Structure 1
Amino acid sequence: MMRNKKDWVCTRHCLNDFGLTACRSTASPVFVIVRWSITSRPAPIRSPQCLGHRNRDWPMGDRVCVPPNCSFEVNDAEEPWTYSQKFDYIHGRAMLSCFSSPSSVIKSAYSSLRPGGYLEMQDPQMPITCIDSSLEGTALQEWGRLSCLAAEKRGRKLTNSKNYGRFMEEAGFVDIVEKHFYWPCNPWPKGKKEKLLAVWTQQNLMDGIHAMTMRNLTTGLGWSPEEVEMLLVETRKDIKNRRIHSYIDVVVFYGRKPGLEETL
Structure 2
Amino acid sequence: MATQAELVGDLKALRKGRGLFAGNVADRVGGTLRDLCGVTDEDGPGEIRYRVARRVTRLATGLPDDLRVAVLAAFGVLPAARHPLYQDRVAWVADRIHREPRTARRRIDEGIHQLAQLACTPQRAGTPPGAGWHTEETRVLAMLDRAAPEVLEHHRVVAGQDVTELELPVPPGSEVAYGGTLRSGVLTLPAPLGPGDTHEFALRTRLAVLPRQLVHVPGRQCDFLELRVRFDRDRLPRRVSRLPGGATAVQVDRAGEIRLTFADLTRGLTYGARWD
**Alignment TM-score, normalising by the size of structure 2:** 0.28
**Alignment TM-score, normalising by the size of structure 1:** 0.29
Q: Which has the higher helix share?
A: 1
Q: Which has the higher strand share?
A: 2
